[in-house]
Chains A and B, each alone.
Chain A
Amino acid sequence: MAASSDTGVDFRTRLQNWLPKLVLSPSLAVMLIFVYGFIAFTIYISFTDSRMLPSYEWVGWQNYDRLFRIREWNIALNNLAIFSSLYIVISTIIGLMLAIFLDQKIRGEGVLRPIFLYPMALSFIVTGTAWKWFLDPAIGLENTMHLWGWTSFQFNWIKDRDMAIYTIVIAAVWQSSGFVMAMFLAGLRGIDNEILKAAQMDGASNFQLYRRIILPQLRPAFLSAFVILSHLAIKSYDLVIALTGGGPGNATALPATFMYSYTFTRNQMGIGASSAVIMLMTIAAIMVPYLYAELREKS
C-alpha cells in the first residue's frame, strides 16, 4: 500500500513505512534462528559422525548410506506410506461426511460438534492407555464382544505384525477427523445458498448437487485438510509410542519414532539427523508447491 520508492516523504510517513517491517522483523529473526538455523544445523550434523552429542567430524554421505541399509528405516518409510495415505484419505472422507450430515439442519448440532471435535484437544499421553485397552483383545473390544455373547468376534490387530499399523490409523483418524469435519463444515457454511437453489431448479439431485456443485467449491478446504493432515502424519510420534511403542517387533515404526530413537536412545545422532533431513525434504516436497501456489495466487 505504501510505496517505499516515492520521494519527498515526511518523517511520520517514513516511520509508518518502516513500522510494519519493524514489527515483522523479530518474528523473522526468530524464525531464521530457531527454524532455519536449526535445520541447517541438523543438515550439518547429518554429515558428521555425531553420536551422543553433536560432534563436528565430517564423514560425508556415510550416514545416508547407512540409513538406507538399515532395515528398520525401510520399514518406517513403508509404514509412513501406508499410514499417511490411509490416514489422510479416511480422515478426509469421514470429516467430509460428518460435515455434510451436520449441515443438514441437524437437531443437536451444538452437542454433536464438540463431541466430534474434542479428540483434537487431547494428547495421546492422555488417551494412550485407554486406546491400548480398547484395542487389546484380552481386555478391550474383542473381550467385550465375547462377554456380550458374540464369541466368534475377532479384533486382535494391535497384536498382529501385519495389521498393527492399521490400529494406528484408527486412533489417528479418531483424533483428527473431527478437526477435518470442522474445516469442511466451515467451507460448507460459506457456500452461497442461492447457487444451491439455482442448481435445484436445474433439477440436480442431492447427490449431483454435492458432487457437481458443492464439492468443487470446497477445494480450499480440501487443500487445507490435506496439508494439515500430511504434516500431522509425518510428525506422528506420541501416537505410536502410546499405542504400540513401535511394535509388535518393529512393525509400526514411523520415521519420527526412528529418528527419535536413533538420535536420543541409540546414540547415533548422525543417522538420526540424516533421517530428519529426509523427513524435512518430504515435508518440503509437499509444502513448497502448496506454498508457492498459495502465495502466487495473491500477487
Chain B
Amino acid sequence: MAVASTDTAIRSSNWSRMLIYLVLLLFALFYLLPFGIMLVNSLKPLEEITGGNMVALPRTWTIEPWLSAWSTAQIGVEPTGLRPYFINSIMMAVPAVLLSTIVGALNGYVLTKWQFRGSTIVFGLLLFSCFIPFQIVLIPMARILGLLQIAGTTPGLVLVHFVYGIGFTTLYFRNYYAAFPTELVRAAQIDGAGFFQIFRRILLPSSGPIIAVSFIWQFTNIWNDFLFGASFASGGSAPMTVALNNLVNSSTGVREYNVHFAGAIMAAGPTLLVYIVAGRYFVRGLMAGSVKG
C-alpha cells in the first residue's frame, strides 16, 4: 500500500507469524477451491469427469471444452457458443458503468461541496435505493421500458443498470469527496472556475481511487446480473450470464460439465481480470473514505 505507511507498530513473535501464514494460506486455499475445481474440470474430457474424482488433475489435458464453449456450444437453437453474448455484455456493461459512475460522481460532488437545504434527505433517498430487492421492480420496470420503446434492447438494459447503480456510486463518491478539502473548491471559486470546471479540473483528477472502486463495483454487478438481463433483453441482445445459464441449465440431455465450467470461467473472465488488475485500488479507494459509509 502506498497511501498509508504499513509500518505497523505491532511486533509479533516468529512462532505466531508462522501461525498467521498458515491461517492465511488455508483461507487462500478455501477461497481458491471452487475456482480450482472449475478450472481443473474444464480441462478434462467429459468421461474423466463422470467417472472420476473432481479434484484429480486431468489424465488427458484438453482445451476442447474451452473452444466448444466459446464458439460451438449450443445456446438456444444455434450452436454459436458464448462469443456473441460476450459482446452483448460489453455493449451493456460499459455504457452503464460509465454513466452511473459519472452521475454518481456528480451527485457526490453536489452532496458534499454544494450542500443545500434537504440535500441530506436526497442522499438518504438515493442510498436507500441500494437496498431494494430487484425482483419487485421487474413488472413495473417492464411497463416503463415498454412506454419508452426500449424494451428488449441494449439501451433499455443500460438504463436499468444505470438507475439501480446510482445509489451505490453516489454513496462511494459522496464519502470520498467528503474527505476532499473544501478549501480547494473555494480557491477554485475565487479563481473564477464554475460548477463544472471545478468538478472537471479540481475534483476529477484526484478521484482515481474512488473511480476504481465505483468502476469495479458497478462492472462486477452489471456483468454478473442475470435477472435484468434475462427479463429485459430479447434473444439476440442477451448478455453473457443469460447465455451461460442457457448453456448450464439446459433442461434435458447430456450435461457437458467440462464445457459448462469452461463457459463459466469465460463468463467470469472480465470481472476476474478487473479484480486482479484493479483490486489494489479497491482497498485504497475504500480506505480513502468509503469505509465511513
B291 touches A190 (CB 8 A): yes
A279 touches B133 (CB 8 A): yes
Q: A218 vs B30: C-alpha distance in the bound complex, in angstroms? A: 26
Task: Please tell me if the beta carbons of A28 and B126 are within 8 angstroms of each other in the complex.
Answer: yes
Residues of A within 8 A of B136 (CB): 38-39, 42, 259, 273, 276, 280
Asked if A238 meets B292 with Cβ closer than 8 Å, knowing A16-B195, A197-B9, the reply is no
Docked-complex contact B4 and A129, CB < 8 angstroms: no
Task: Judge if B8 is at the interface, Cβ distance under 8 Å.
Answer: yes
Within A102-149, which residues are at the interface with B (CB < 8 Å)? 102-106, 110, 112-123, 125-127, 129-131, 133-134, 139-140, 143-144, 147
Is A59 engaged at the interface, CB distance under 8 Å to the other chain? no
A134 to B53, CA, bound (A): 11
Contact of A200 among B5, B9, B24, B272 (CB under 8 A): B9
CA distance A206 to B20 in the complex (A): 14
* Alpha-carbon separation in the docked complex, A39 to B136 (Å): 8
Q: Given A185-B283, A298-B120, are A256 and B135 also a contact pair (CB < 8 Å)? A: yes
Measured CA separation A131–B38 after assembly (Å): 9
- Count A/B pairs, Cβ under 8 Å: 285
User: Does A11 touch B at the CB level, under 8 Å?
Assistant: no
Is B291's CB under 8 angstroms from A186's CB?
yes
B103 in the interface, Cβ–Cβ < 8 Å? yes
Interface presence of A291 (CB below 8 A): yes
Question: B180 within 8 Å of A by Cβ?
Answer: no
CB atoms of B35 and A130 under 8 A apart: yes
Q: Is B137 an interface residue (CB 8 A)?
A: yes
Q: Nearest chain-A residue to B124 (Cβ)?
A: A291
Picked from B10, B20, B111, B248, the residue with its CB within 8 Å of the CB of A24 is: B111
B135–A174 CB distance below 8 A? no
CB closest chain-B residue, reference A192:
B4
> Which residues of chain A are within 8 angstroms of B116 by Cβ–Cβ distance?
2, 4, 20-21
Contact B244 A126 (CB under 8 A): yes
A94 to B27, CA, bound (A): 9
Question: Is B70 positioned at the interface, with any CB of A under 8 Å from its CB?
Answer: no
Of the candidates B38, B132, B267, B283, the one whose C-beta lies within 8 Å of that of A35 is B132
Residues of A within 8 Å of B166, CB to CB, are 27, 30-31
Contacts of A37 in B (CB 8 A): 140
**When the two chains form their complex, are residues B135 and A143 in contact, meaning their CB atoms are under 8 A apart?**
no
User: Which A residues touch B20, using CB under 8 A?
Assistant: 101, 104, 106
Of all chain A residues, the one with the shortest Cβ separation from B21 is: A106
- Closest 9 CB pairs between A and B? A20-B114, A123-B224, A196-B9, A186-B287, A186-B286, A121-B271, A130-B34, A35-B129, A20-B110
21 contacts between A and B (CB under 8 A): A1-B182, A20-B114, A20-B195, A34-B163, A101-B23, A102-B24, A104-B12, A104-B17, A106-B24, A116-B28, A126-B244, A130-B261, A134-B33, A143-B54, A174-B30, A189-B1, A231-B130, A234-B131, A256-B133, A287-B127, A287-B128
